[in-house]
Amino acid sequence: MRTTRRTLLLGALPALSLPALALAQPGWRPDRPVRLVVAFAPGGNVDFTARLLAPIMAERLGQPVVIENRGGAGGVIGLDLVAKARPDGLTFGIGSSGTLTISPLTTARMPWDTWTDFTFIALAYRVPIVLANSATLPARTLQEFLAYAKANQGKVSAGSSGIGTGAHLGIELFNHGSGAGLTHVPYRSSGAAYPDLVAGHLHCMFDQLSAALPLHRDGKSRILATGSAVRSPQVPEAPTLREAGIIDAELSTSIGLLGPARLPPEILEALRSAMAAAVGDATVQARLLDLGAEVATPAQMNGRHYLAVTQEELALSRQAVEIAGLKPE
């Protein structure tokens, strides 16, 4: 039986308080519960990730991991708590691409700096952004969709979760690389757009693979291409945008662990090791893979790689923001 997103979320909600000495590892250990900041409201991918990882991290650290949801301003408010926390290992957070690489380009007054106010602890996984079209369209492949869009320049609508989001920037990069001429239609969230996609009022969507998979599996929409480096095992029939010669860089969102700047090496390593243990858990990996996540390898699960991925994403975001003509507000 296929695991649904609701089942995954419910399965990730057991109490996070664990015996203080359970499976604690040598090295630094906190002497009280630690705070894991989620810069978004409960229920989304970032919150799901935190609730999935926290129990195992708590076992490794020997203290409860308490999740604190602080949504607002596209994640900027929540990460401000992390940036301004003491570097004592008692406060860390989940970092996401849009907040770290898009918000600094579209927000006039940022309370923190991505490169100087955080310690990059480790990359957990990446989720490709995909192009999914309505099943009501005649196009069943990327090539057919491109032909349809070019024959109907400016009349093919492309939904996103809002102006300045990763999905919106994906649309801009797609138009730039393909000449498809899609018309961007921003919604308040991707969930609000999917009913229109299913009904055929919206021709296509750019969204994370994890969100697009359920409708693809149910035959209500078709994933035509992915922004991943290689084809996704979840939709092996869909070519990558790089393979199609449309977007050369990897188009995805990344999720990782962040701490405040100047985090001591022994604390950084303890938090990295705890996260690596959680991501490496077989049950956790199965849930992430079912959502289309590309889980970081052990060699990639460190701060250097996470920083490098974020720098690459910033360069791509800057290109897309320039194409879209977005200005900081």
pLDDT in tens, 82-140: 999 999 999 999 999 999 999 999 999 999 999 999 999 999 999 999 999 999 999 99
pLDDT in tens, 238-294: 999 999 999 999 999 999 999 999 999 999 999 999 999 999 999 999 999 988 899
Of residues 325, 323, 316, 257, the one with CA closest to residue 102: 316
Residue 329: its pLDDT value, please?
Answer: 87
Global pTM reads: 0.86
Q: Indicate if the alpha-carbon torsion angle 243, 177, 97, 204 is positive or negative.
A: negative
Residues of the chain with CATH 3.40.190.10: 128-226
Rounded Cα gap, residues 127 and 301, in angstroms: 15
Q: For residue 186, with 0-12 CB atoms within 10 Å meaning exposed, 13-18 middle and 19 or more buried, which class applies? A: middle
Q: Where are the beta strands (DSSP E) in 87-220?
A: 91-96, 118-134, 157-160, 183-186, 204-208
Residue 26: its pLDDT value, please?
Answer: 54
The CATH number for 128-226, chosen from 3.30.43.10, 3.30.390.50, 3.40.190.10, 3.40.50.620, is 3.40.190.10
Residue 17: its pLDDT value, please?
Answer: 37
The CATH number for 5-127+252-324, chosen from 3.40.190.150, 1.10.3430.10, 3.30.420.40, 3.40.190.10, is 3.40.190.150
Rounded Cα gap, residues 155 and 76, in angstroms: 35
pLDDT in tens, 2-58: 444 434 333 443 333 333 333 434 589 999 999 999 999 898 889 999 999 999 999
DSSP readout, 41-91? -TTSHHHHHHHHHHHHHHHHHTS-EEEEE---GGGHHHHHHHHTS-SSSSE
Rounded Cα gap, residues 93 and 169, in angstroms: 25
Give yes or no for residue 302 having a pLDDT over 70.
yes
Residue 15: its pLDDT value, please?
Answer: 37
pLDDT in tens, 97-110: 999 999 999 999 99
Residues of the chain with CATH 3.40.190.150: 5-127+252-324
In which region does residue 62 sit, left (phi positive, over 0), alpha (psi from -120 to 50) or beta (all else)?
left
| Three-class secondary structure of residue 240 per DSSP | strand
pLDDT in tens, 193-231: 999 999 999 999 999 999 999 999 999 999 999 999 999
DSSP readout, 254-313? EEEEEEETT--HHHHHHHHHHHHHHHHSHHHHHHHHHTT-EEPPGGG-SHHHHHHHHHHH
- Helix, strand and coil percent figures for the chain, each rounded to 5: 40, 20, 40
Do residues 166 and 98 touch, judged by C-beta distance below 8 A? yes
